Amino acid sequence: MNPNPVVAIAGATGAVGVEMLRCLEERNFPISKLKLLASARSAGKTMTFRGQDITVEELTEDSFKGVDIAFFSAGGSISKKFAKAVVDAGAVMIDNSSAYRMDPDVPLVIPEVNPQAAHDHKGIIANPNCSTIIAITPLWPIHQKNRVKRLIAATYQAASGAGAAAMEELEQATRAHLAGEAFEQKIIPHPYPFNVFSHNSRVDPVTGYNEEEMKMVKETTKIFADTNIRVTATCVRVPVLRAHSEALDFECENPITPDDVRTILSTAPGVKIVDDVARNYFPMPKDASGQDDILVGRIRQDISDPTGHSISMFVAGDQLLKGAALNAVQIGELLLA
């Protein structure tokens, strides 16, 4: 890999694309040239990077000539459409969509968990689902010390997970609701202000699980390289603009205490303990928003398990950063290491 690569961002004007641009700048990612790519509708716009205005170009199959790393955050159909052009051009696609996550030939990478997998690619590296990243980044160091046998997750997912348009819709719908005005939801299928509802992804009529839940199940198994870990999830959308929260209950192979978990996580990369029992202050999306680290708290023994093998805890992480853009940029950094 060129130590000063030519970098492209496909979907540069979207919520995650904007954060990718910011992450590349803040982390001093070495770039010899940056190409910003989007749909024809966004072509011609300008975005600022390191004090310079860069004109957004229309994404085409010819966009990747001379590119070394192509960050994609434009949706699965776009990733599939342009993957061959990226690989044929000799670039590495770091894809934020679900298009290639479960492809056995594509590594699914969280740098704090399985960094070595990033180097075993054939031109495409997949970024995991945001809910998966936020759940298992703090679980991984525990898993290394005391294997996690089972995970039960309940997510509280912000509008940011559905993109910039959903965030804007939540703001507009909330203003309308408070003013007593009618509002037609176009991005999110249910009334969003002051409401929670099952994640707006397709539900399998056979299993009853929606796509978001099954992403957590399947991706955890692949990233941990452990086909025996048992995972179930209930994914819910909440009226929060940014940062997902998750209630995690996990069972370990051997007995484990809350102090064990705090000790392990106190030095874990990408994790910050927020567990102030005296003040009843624990991870919140308002605190996780804009933060690189995943906040972890409410660490307590699961009293429903008399064997002492289970822990309950609560986490919050910025879906646009560690759940998406930051994780992708960190993968890019692995390629340059």
Q: Label the pairing between strands 92-95 and 69-72.
A: parallel
Q: Determine which helix (DSSP H) or strand (DSSP E) holds 32, and give its type and residue range.
A: none
95 strand-pairing partners: 72, 126
Residue 1 lies in a domain: no
pLDDT of residue 337: 87
Q: Say which CATH number the domain at 206 has.
A: 3.30.360.10
pLDDT of residue 1: 82
Give the pLDDT confidence of 16-49 residue by residue, as tens digits: 999 999 999 999 999 999 999 999 999 999 999 9
Give the pLDDT confidence of 205-227 residue by residue, as tens digits: 999 999 999 999 999 999 999 99
Residue 262 lies in a domain: yes
How many domains does the chain contain in total?
Answer: 2
Q: What does pTM read for this prediction?
A: 0.94
Same domain, 145 and 84: no
Same domain, 50 and 117: yes
Mark the ranges of the chain whose per-residue pLDDT is less than 50.
Answer: none
Residue 194 lies in a domain: yes
Task: Check if the beta carbon of residue 5 is closer than 8 Å to that of residue 68.
Answer: yes
199 catalytic? Reply is no
Q: Which residue in the list 121, 143, 199, 244 is annotated as catalytic?
A: 244
pLDDT of residue 160: 92
Same domain, 116 and 156: no
Same domain, 73 and 154: no
Same domain, 105 and 151: no
Same domain, 81 and 155: no
244 catalytic? Reply is yes
Same domain, 202 and 74: no
Same domain, 173 and 259: yes
SS3 of residue 177 by DSSP: helix
Q: Say which CATH number the domain at 330 has.
A: 3.40.50.720
Task: Identify which of 131, 108, 96 has the alpha carbon closest to the alpha carbon of residue 233.
Answer: 131
Domain that holds residue 309: 132-319
Residue 70 lies in a domain: yes
Same domain, 113 and 246: no
Q: Which residue in the list 23, 121, 130, 143 is annotated as catalytic?
A: 130
Question: What size, in residues, is the chain?
Answer: 337
Same domain, 311 and 329: no
Same domain, 146 and 90: no
Same domain, 144 and 172: yes
pLDDT of residue 88: 97
Measure the CA dihedral 196/197/200/205, to 10°.
Answer: 170
Residue 52 lies in a domain: yes
Please tell me what DSSP assigns to residue 110: -
